[in-house]
Amino acid sequence: MRRRTRAALGLALALGAPAWAPGGAGAQVELTGRLQQELAYRYAAAPALTKGLAFIQLEAGAPVGTAGRLTAIGRAWYDPVLDFSEPDRINPDLAPGDPVRDAFHGAELKELYLDVLTDAVDLRVGRQIVRWGLLEGTRITDRVNPLDFREFLFRDVEDRYIPLWMLRASYYPTWGQTQVLVIPDMTFHKPAPAGSEWEEFQLPPDTRKPKVSLKNTELGLLLGRRWGETAWTASYLYTWDDFPAAFRSVFGVAGALTGASFDARYERLHIFGLTASRSVGPAVLNFEGAYDHGKHLATDTGALPSGGNEIARDIAHWGAGVDANVAGVDVSVVYFQEQVIGWKPYIPVDRVERAASLLMRESYLHNRVDAQLLVLYFHAGHQYVARPRVDWRLTDRTKLSVGVDLLGGQRGSDPSDATAVRDFRFVGYLKDHDRATATVSYRF
């Protein structure tokens, strides 16, 4: 049976066939996938070809009984750039002993879950990704899954989120929707591999990680309802902070070592969230807010009364955005702000952090060519990321993308320098990494 299974799957993959029937009867296995080749050339400081990534992803799905469906998504990748270039050319800051080659190949089970749809409730059990919130990239309420920083912020959304083993139950009463999450998985943010050109920080080797247990399980609740013309959601997430307490977070997506003591440990966090969305004429207005209770922040070394230890503070986040079509161009503008409640001068985080984003997109040639520009701006250090890109759908299954990734602002100091942590800049630290990119992808 195993030999027959492998042969059938191999034939389906070779032919791009969508189905396989075990034993010629019963359930049908649908197999789809994506082949992708990515190139990147850094043309700023230390010019070099830094990426030649070959990537494959396979997705298999099959019905289970009359109300269930099993989905499995796996991927593998290999980057041959080190076969014709020295590691220190790709990363001039490479330190002796950095396992840089580990960043250029790998394989993983991305997702594996069972959907069960009933009249009362929809269940999804397994390794999965859950997206909350409205404002893309702000991570205000969208903090169920941790992030993978292996390529800074430049992976596609589906590649940046780390799936977690969990139970998701969705119920749709007459008044709206209810979603419950039960997450026993103790997986957290993953920094860029040591020796990678995108490395900014690493977890201390003795970081204390909570064990998988009933008392350590994360819980989430989302309620949604429409009142009049406005769609609302309220959420609560009893989670673990995805950065250890010896790190600080910037807009929920960055971290830097702080203090002289690296007693890094993960702490519990309560996140209360609210979103609202409403159409006003041709535009859509979005609001998102969250209140974090119990965020642990490091303090300056030698500061009194903290003396470099971590202290708990609450943090308020909010963001507002508008989506509209202006003269044929899709435009999305977002403003974001977070504030530390009870901030003190010895806390190495600004009392208020601000950021904004602009996304513009327009289609040409009967929607076969898309041109877009994404700009992120962080007020601290006047940091920015700009990503102009053109996507050309060569066929219904093949797409070519070319673009440029630009980073700028104040560079700040090395994040491993605990005495200069106030000067760390998440984006500006990589300001010399401007690059041109090209990607060809084929879906089958």
pLDDT tens digits, 110-132:
999 999 999 889 999 999 999 99
**Nearest CA to 386 among 334, 415, 426, 427?**
427
**β 105-117/398-408 pair status:** unpaired
Contact between residue 259 and residue 418 where contact means Cβ atoms under 8 Å apart: yes
Cα gap 288→72, rounded to integer Å: 32
Q: Is the pLDDT of residue 12 over 50?
A: no
Q: Name the DSSP class of 313.
A: E
Q: Is the pLDDT of residue 5 over 90?
A: no
pLDDT tens digits, 166-209:
999 999 999 999 999 999 999 999 998 888 889 887 887 788 89
CA angle 433-339-297, nearest 5°? 75
Domains of the chain, each with CATH number or no CATH: 2-443 (2.40.160.10)
pLDDT confidence of residue 6 = 36
Least confident of 126-130, 265-269, 274-278: 265-269
Highest average pLDDT, of 56-70, 184-198, 421-435, comes from 56-70
Contact between residue 33 and residue 443 where contact means Cβ atoms under 8 Å apart: yes
Contact between residue 254 and residue 424 where contact means Cβ atoms under 8 Å apart: no
pLDDT tens digits, 95-115:
777 777 777 889 999 999 999
The residues facing 259 across adjacent strands are none
pLDDT confidence of residue 248 = 43
Query: Which residue did the predictor score with more confidence, 389 or 7?
Result: 389
Least confident of 226-230, 341-345, 422-426, 430-434: 422-426
pLDDT band at residue 302 using 50, 70 and 90 as cut-offs: low
Spacing of C-alpha 68 from chain mean position: 28
Could you give the C-alpha distances from 320 to 139, 140, 332, 340, in angstroms and in order?
Answer: 13, 11, 11, 19
pLDDT band at residue 214 using 50, 70 and 90 as cut-offs: very high
pLDDT band at residue 261 using 50, 70 and 90 as cut-offs: very low
Query: Which residue did the predictor score with more confidence, 217 or 312?
Result: 217
pLDDT confidence of residue 424 = 72
Query: What average pLDDT does the segment 26-48 reach?
Result: 91
Q: Is the pLDDT of residue 18 over 90?
A: no
**Nearest CA to 321 among 294, 290, 289, 367?**
289
Query: Which residue did the predictor score with more confidence, 433 or 414?
Result: 433
Is the bond into 96 cis (omega within 30 degrees of 0)? no
pLDDT tens digits, 396-420:
999 999 999 999 999 877 666 655 5
Query: What average pLDDT does the segment 143-157 reach?
Result: 91
Query: What average pLDDT does the segment 53-65 reach?
Result: 96
Query: What average pLDDT does the segment 432-438 reach?
Result: 96
